[in-house]
Amino acid sequence: MESKEIRKRNEGKLFEKPNVVGVMTGCKITNGKETEELSILCLVEEKISTTSLKKGELIPTKINDYSTDVIEVGKIIAFSTLGIPAQGTTDRLRPCPMGTSGGHYLISAGTNGELLKDKATGKTCIGTNNHVGANSNNASIGDAYLQPGKHDGGNVDNDKIGKLFRFIPIVFKGDGNGNGNGNGCFIATAAYGSPAALQVAFLRNIRDNGLRKTRMGDLFVDAYEWIYYKFSPAVAAIMNKDPYFKNFMRKVIVNPIVYTLRGIFKPLYWMRERIFKRRTVVTQKSNENQIDWNSVHNPNQVDAAMIEVNPNDVKSEILNIGIPIGHKNATINMDVQKSGRTTGHTTNGRVTGIDGSVDVSYGAGKTARFTNQVMISGNNFSNPGDSGSLILDMNRNAVGKLFAGGTGITIANPIQTYLDMLKANLITQ
């Protein structure tokens, strides 16, 4: 059995251990030096003496045939607070290159990562993070985006470079108070109290595994979400503050929608099972259709947003790097670089972990788990304010989207997942 499969099967138990904030595949470190031995990496906030832990709290030295390795990384945070900026990254620039300061008009500042082209409309957009461009879900489509960011002197009257075009909502762990959103189902999550509620998972399943699988359905969902995201965060916020309004919305609006869709889709599933003899009932013995509860409860794969801009106001060039030539998957031991608002151009990054699950703190008690993430090692490769930076190999192929980090490490979304979920292409000219 491959290390990735073993890690995935055991990560739930490993996350229950004290201080564990991440689990991924990487090379074992022995006596301060990296070896070529592929192992299961357990990221912890702080290493604790084994004598201070109970037997059940210890991380096993081996899982199946693979060694484990414990790495102290501190708290992994979304880089939303700011450090001292690199020279030239906070100037107001038109046309604006990437690797510069920018952000939603209500946040401090982050980084304009790269230029993207929306697949459906062909619009030119700046690619950045949700917590940079969409204020960690607390934004509406069309909100102003500044360059430079607010912390760096930008203001709505003079420095608006674009507007929020699309973002992938973040689901926060164990949140029944509206900070989570069920991967975009703001109102349903507020109605049922959790993004993990079965009704919310049902609605996501219809969208992602039903409508999104057809061209017409995909276009319908895009048009619907364009309207929905304009008002749903505000409605969900009211529902979370007013229990009477929440009860009204659940009983009069949301429940009828869920029951109607259930009535439509249940016969279709029955017909599919009888006609095509496909088993769709989930059982303990079935792996093919087994519900992945980790993905239901923690569906985050990217922290991503797109900002619509006038093509004349931007340049695809990334400061001190140049124009990306394409994109590829990150691999262990790959040398990487990035250009960001705070640390500027850094070249000391190396991919040391892949397919990782990590718990990321967004402040104010909010934590989100992300799956299939990339870890880059390198002191000061990134710092707060660099969120949104594009990570590239040394040949200028994009490999990841920077959004978080800890002590000596940077966490990035894999580039292909980032582009696929935003439904965008990387601009390479």
pLDDT (tens digit, 0 to 9) for every residue of the chain, 429 residues total?
576 677 777 778 888 888 899 998 888 777 667 777 788 888 998 888 777 787 778 888 788 878 888 888 998 999 766 778 888 899 999 999 999 999 999 999 999 999 999 999 999 999 999 999 999 988 888 999 999 999 999 999 999 999 999 999 888 875 443 343 444 577 887 888 766 566 777 787 777 767 777 778 777 877 777 787 778 878 888 888 888 898 898 889 888 888 888 777 666 555 554 554 443 333 333 333 333 334 434 468 999 999 999 999 999 999 999 999 999 999 999 999 999 999 999 999 999 998 889 999 998 778 899 999 999 999 999 999 999 999 999 999 999 999 999 999 999 999 999 999 999 999 998
- How many domains are contained in the chain? 3
Asked if residue 243 belongs to a domain, the reply is yes
Last residue of a domain, one of 297, 325, 346: 297
Taking alpha carbons only, the member of 221, 93, 84 closest to residue 147 is 93
User: How many Å is the maximal CA-CA distance in the chain?
Assistant: 66
pLDDT at 182: 40
pLDDT at 374: 96
* Whether residue 85 sits in one domain with residue 64: no
* Whether residue 268 sits in one domain with residue 191: yes
Residue whose tokens read 């279709």:
268
* φ, ψ of residue 388 in degrees (nearest 5): 105, -15
* Whether residue 267 sits in one domain with residue 222: yes
* Whether residue 327 sits in one domain with residue 283: no
pLDDT at 271: 56
CB 90 within 8 A of CB 100: yes
pLDDT at 396: 98
* Whether residue 404 sits in one domain with residue 380: yes
pLDDT at 269: 54
DSSP letter for each residue of 335-394 = EEEEEETTTEEEEEEEEEEEEEEEEEE-STT-EEEEEEEEEEE-TTS--TT-TTPEEEET
Q: Which domain holds residue 381?
A: 78-103+110-129+317-426
pLDDT at 314: 98
* Whether residue 358 sits in one domain with residue 414: yes
Last residue of a domain, one of 268, 297, 326: 297
Q: Which residues pair with 408 in a beta bridge?
A: none
* Whether residue 422 sits in one domain with residue 325: yes
Last residue of a domain, one of 263, 297, 331: 297
CA atoms 162, 400, 304, 168: torsion sign: positive
Taking alpha carbons only, the member of 101, 96, 108, 90 closest to residue 151 is 108
* Whether residue 292 sits in one domain with residue 202: yes
At 254, the amino acid letter reads V
CB 305 within 8 A of CB 170: no
Asked if residue 310 belongs to a domain, the reply is no
* φ, ψ of residue 204 in degrees (nearest 5): -60, -40
CA distance 194 to 197: 5
* Whether residue 115 sits in one domain with residue 41: no
- The secondary element (H helix, E strand) that includes residue 22 is strand 20-30
* Whether residue 199 sits in one domain with residue 270: yes
In three-state secondary structure terms, 116 is: strand
Tokens of 74: 């501190």
Asked if residue 203 belongs to a domain, the reply is yes
* Whether residue 86 sits in one domain with residue 16: no
